[in-house]
Amino acid sequence: MKKKTFVTLDQVKEMNQQYPTPFHLYDEKGIRENARKLKEAFSWNKGFREYFAVKATPNPFILKILQEEGCGTDCSSLTELMMSEACGFTGSDIMFSSNVTPAEEFKKAKELGAFINLDDFTHIAFLEETAGIPETIFCRYNPGGFFKLGTDIMDNPGDAKYGFTKEQLIEGFKILKTKGVKQFGIHSFLASNTVSNEYYPMLAKILFELAVEVKEKTGADIKYINLSGGIGIPYTPDKEPNDIMVIGEGVRKAFDEILVPAGMGDVSIFTELGRFMLAPYGCLVTKAIHEKHIYKEYIGVDACAVNLMRPAMYGSYHHITVLGKEDAPCDHKYDVTGSLCENNDKFAIDRMLPKIDMGDYLVIHDTGAHGFAMGYNYNGKLKSAEVLLQEDGTTKLIRRAETPKDYFATFDFCDILDNVKQ
């Protein structure tokens, strides 16, 4: 089975004259259309807002596109807060959801007027001591145990380091009320990368019922429910993608059945999507530069796990298209590898692909989220450029490739590498 690329061989050849491979490429048209569809799916909720998970694709050019589409940012570190501020996000444009949080990060979030989402009961006292308690605050809920859809176990919240227990949440809301909090939000994340239209409605039902119970037991004014992330994408071509319109309608139904009768019909719904927002609209463009014939057939490309860590880290599947050979028979079995001194530096194992010749361009799909962002510098490899395919068909560099000077920059406090030729 196939996945369709948003870029052609001729386009890539032209790009390669300006941007050496490998590079990450993003589809502006697809990003904007997807953001608008999400907004439409939740248009029934007056206060709905998407807070894009910056960790998925921390690029200011991408953030500005999403800002133009009405999104805020979901930040989990000081640098993500700084990037959001530099892009013009401020106050309620920012959701700060972190864990094991350093004091300086709470201070920055408070300074920006961001929504602060507490991960732990002890963070109440810690936030008060370090930055002060704001009038609006969120708390993250962990129900424990296993999270199931039907008979399928989707994830194991009980084994996750995140969130308050229900008892802690109730006690925490009571304490926060005494400290001047006037408006509350509830947040939860129970499963990652779900390819199911049932996940969000099920999560919403759990959180809506929790909100009603917590309000009854604490008297807290719950204004916001944050469904966080978890809506995934089909990395393999045999799966159907989520239908965001069906998902939005499922959440609406739960809202009308649970919150409206409880007098909570003014609650705003928030989301913190990353993978759903960006992954299908980014790809890694790389070139075949070596072939090897030993016990298996290997194709070596000029990208490596530095550029896309997920296959090496998780064994994740990313579909590969050989540009110009989309209709050729997939009658060759290859391992597609990078050059790191690690045997897990493989983008595909025993993958059936068309015959690959040296110089062929390969598109590795669905890297728009958690692709470039997870890069690193093992073996002294340098991170690639990021390029935006704009709506008018032109391209724009949105991050230059790293140079050796960048790699050596953290030794600028001394002269030990002053004689390095760059």
CA distances from 293 to 289, 341, 351 (A): 14, 18, 15
Q: Which candidate in 71, 75, 304, 341 is catalytic?
A: 341
Q: Which has the closest alpha carbon to 273: 314, 332, 306, 231?
A: 231
Residues, the chain, total? 422
Residues near 305 by Cβ (< 8 Å), separated by ≥ 6?
Answer: 311, 312, 313, 338, 340, 342, 344, 345, 378
Q: Which has the closest alpha carbon to 59: 230, 278, 318?
A: 278
Q: Which stretches of 198-257 are assigned E, i.e. beta strand?
A: 222-226
Give the H/E segment covering residue 30: helix 28-41
Q: Long-range pairs for 371-374 at CB < 8 Å and ≥24 separation?
A: 371/24, 371/57, 371/279, 371/282, 371/284, 371/307, 371/308, 371/310, 372/24, 372/57, 372/59, 372/307, 372/399, 373/55, 373/56, 373/57, 373/58, 374/308, 374/309, 374/310, 374/313
Residues near 354 by Cβ (< 8 Å), separated by ≥ 6?
Answer: 322, 325, 328, 329, 330, 331, 332
- 60's tokens: 């200011």
- 173's tokens: 């809301």
Rounded to the nearest 5°, which phi and psi values hold at 384?
-85, 175
Please tell me whether residue 265 adopts helix, strand or coil conformation: coil
CA distances from 188 to 2, 137, 157 (A): 35, 14, 10
341 a catalytic residue = yes
- How far, in Å, CA of 332 to CA of 75, rounded? 43
What's the one-letter identity of residue 245?
A: M
Task: Answer for the pair 183, 221: CB distance below 8 angstroms, yes or no.
Answer: yes
- 19's tokens: 């941007």
Residues near 126 by Cβ (< 8 Å), separated by ≥ 6?
Answer: 101, 103, 106
What's the one-letter identity of residue 410?
A: T
Q: Which has the closest alpha carbon to 353: 337, 336, 333, 377?
A: 333
Residues annotated as catalytic (active site), given as ranges: 341
